[in-house]
Amino acid sequence: MMADVERLAGDIGPREATSKAFYEAADLVERRFRELGFRTRRTEVKVPAGDSWGTPVRAGTSANVIADSPGLDPARDHVVIGAHLDTVARAPGAEDNASGIAVLLELARLAGLEPPDVPVRFVAFGAEEPRGDGDALHHFGSQQLVADLSAAERRAIRGMVSLDRVGVPAERVPVCRAGDRGADLQDQLLAAARSAKIRTRACEDRASDHWSYQKAGIPAARLGKIAYAGYHSPDDVPSVVDQDQLARAARIVWAWLGRS
């Protein structure tokens, strides 16, 4: 996982949603999913011009990279695990959110070796980061994906977990719900953490891709959101990320998937 953080934040660097660097990162993640035995596809994500945390950005196109467990039928029971791949314009995004992508790829690797009973859709989201103020100007990739789901596909998602900022060392792993509908899922994740002997902190949060799912009535939760000095800055470099903390997030989700 640390090698992936290093590759994304150290080698590739800032990955604004429409940039060449973003697509380089998307290619890397898609290649990794394929090597792990997943079918992959991309969806286009249109984003408007705006302001990326102090940097003016143009309108353009980003992408979601989607990897399904073999045999996954989106109209039948499955879960979604996601992490955003983009960064704000000036941050190399080691914690926000190479950390989440690294855990996502590790879970995909484990699921390839020992498939969970429930099929998993893994998503690396494009354009999570804001391009302005308000609910419509962020989480573009997840909003696009949710808008394209049929009613049957929405009902088939038993839970969606967003991995967002999961690597800064902390005593307790934040496990956040976005509303009442996510409470059962939050409880499941908290119980999974207990079984894996990992300490957690229950929280409420709407600032990641799980919110797009929650708004559509799909149970959703977020792991992560630990405060740190380098947030959305050039100081968000690989040294802020802790290997043991990444492992804690991975173990919670792996236990939630019924594995240990």
- Least gap, CB of 153 to Zn ion (angstroms): 25
Of 68 and 164, nearer to Zn ion (C-beta) is 164
Structure tokens at 113: 């070796």
Of 4 and 96, nearer to Zn ion (C-beta) is 96
- Least gap, CB of 232 to Zn ion (angstroms): 9
Of 4 and 164, nearer to Zn ion (C-beta) is 164
Of 119 and 167, nearer to Zn ion (C-beta) is 167
Q: Which of 176, 188, 64 shows the shortest CA–CA distance to 118?
A: 188
Q: Kindly list the residues in this chain that would bind Zn ion in the complex (CB under 5 A).
A: 96-97, 164
Q: How far is CA 144 from CA 52, 62, 251, in A?
A: 19, 11, 29
* Pairing state between β 120-125 and 60-68: antiparallel
Q: How many residues does the chain have?
A: 260
**Matching residue, tokens 């236990």:** 255
What b/e sequence results for 81-96 when a residue is b if at least 16 CB atoms lie within 10 Å of its CB, and e otherwise?
A: bbbbbbbbbbbbbbbb
- Least gap, CB of 42 to Zn ion (angstroms): 20
What b/e sequence results for 209-228 when a residue is b if at least 16 CB atoms lie within 10 Å of its CB, and e otherwise?
A: bbbbbbbbebbbbbbbbbeb
- Least gap, CB of 52 to Zn ion (angstroms): 13
- Least gap, CB of 63 to Zn ion (angstroms): 17
Of 68 and 86, nearer to Zn ion (C-beta) is 86
Distance of CA 242 to the CA centre of its chain: 17
Of 97 and 186, nearer to Zn ion (C-beta) is 97
